[in-house]
């Protein structure tokens, strides 16, 4: 006998119905179907699953609310969700910004040949200046991580990225030339200087 194909649960999914907003306090957000009351999501978009969640967890508290009052409850829950999403979006943006700032300071320290521990001094200066110029954003500047270990990791990351870029560009090298020289640092230690001229095939 020919085997019958198993019906996948996903194949039973349907489109989100806007009536479920007020009826069950559910919304569709970022490809998920969320309960506005408890912020849980349902795995399969079916009215049965949404209704079961609502009746088992929130029916006793909200089923008696109808009409304008129910609409008001829905709008209040929806506003709370949007505020929460905006908060986390802002936090993620602030974290990304402070990380970029940390890398830029580490880059300057490496370029100038300064000790990694100078990062903490720079941060203290930035926070003091921000306290005078824009006190409402002092906490944002305090988020910049510039401890010696962090600066060392940032510089390692930057160095690794340079090596990666060179390897990628090396695949298109047509010709290159090297020039070697010697210099000394502030401690009178000899340093090898390597100058590389590259001709890259852009085709």
Per residue in 134-149, pLDDT tens? Answer: 998 898 899 899 999 9
Say if residue 43 is in the same domain as residue 97: no
Say if residue 35 is in the same domain as residue 60: yes
The mean pLDDT of 14-39, rounded to a whole number, is: 84
Question: For residue 162, is it within any domain?
Answer: yes
pLDDT tens digits along 86-127: 777 776 777 888 999 999 999 999 999 899 999 999 999 999
Question: For residue 149, is it within any domain?
Answer: yes
Say if residue 71 is in the same domain as residue 102: no
Question: For residue 42, is it within any domain?
Answer: yes
User: In terms of residue numbers, what domain contains 123?
Assistant: 93-171
Report the percent of the chain where pLDDT is more than 70.
91
Give Cβ neighbours of residue 33 (< 8 Å, ≥ 6 apart).
16, 26, 27, 41, 42, 45, 50
Domain count, the chain: 2
The mean pLDDT of 183-198, rounded to a whole number, is: 84
pTM across the whole model = 0.51
- Residue 202 has a pLDDT of 57
The last residue of one of the domains, among 21, 54, 88, is: 88
Say if residue 97 is in the same domain as residue 143: yes
Say if residue 148 is in the same domain as residue 128: yes
The last residue of one of the domains, among 68, 88, 108, is: 88
Question: For residue 200, is it within any domain?
Answer: no
Say if residue 101 is in the same domain as residue 54: no
Say if residue 82 is in the same domain as residue 98: no
Question: For residue 101, is it within any domain?
Answer: yes
- Residue 12 has a pLDDT of 46
Say if residue 79 is in the same domain as residue 106: no
Question: For residue 142, is it within any domain?
Answer: yes
Say if residue 103 is in the same domain as residue 163: yes
Question: For residue 197, is it within any domain?
Answer: no
Q: Is 191 helix (H, G, I), strand (E, B) or coil?
A: strand
Cβ atoms of 158 and 107 closer than 8 Å: yes
Burial environment of residue 48 by CB neighbours within 10 A (0 to 12, 13 to 18, 19 or more):
exposed
Q: Using 50, 70 and 90 to split pLDDT, how confident is the model at 60?
A: confident
The last residue of one of the domains, among 40, 62, 88, is: 88
Q: Quick one: how far is CA 10 from the chain centroid?
A: 30
């Amino acid at each position: 006998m020919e085997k019958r194909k198993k019906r996948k649960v996903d194949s039973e999914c349907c489109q989100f119905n806007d009536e479920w907003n007020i009826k069950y306090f559910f919304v569709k957000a970022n490809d998920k179907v969320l309960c506005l009351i408890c912020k849980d999501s349902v795995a399969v978009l079916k009215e049965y699953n949404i209704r079961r969640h609502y009746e088992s967890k929130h029916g006793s508290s909200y089923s008696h609310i109808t009409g304008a009052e129910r609409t008001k409850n829905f709008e209040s829950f929806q506003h709370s969700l949007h505020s929460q999403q905006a908060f986390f979006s802002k936090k993620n943006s602030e974290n990304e910004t402070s990380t970029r700032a940390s890398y830029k300071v580490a880059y300057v320290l490496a370029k100038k040949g300064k000790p990694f521990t100078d990062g903490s001094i720079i941060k203290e200066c930035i926070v003091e200046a921000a306290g005078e110029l824009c006190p409402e954003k002092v906490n944002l500047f305090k988020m910049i991580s510039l401890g010696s270990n962090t600066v060392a990791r940032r510089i390692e990351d930057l160095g690794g990225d340079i090596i990666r870029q060179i390897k990628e560009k090396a695949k298109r090298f047509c010709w290159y030339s090297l020039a070697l020289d010697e210099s000394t640092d502030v401690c009178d230690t000899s340093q090898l200087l390597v100058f590389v001229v590259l001709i890259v095939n852009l085709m």
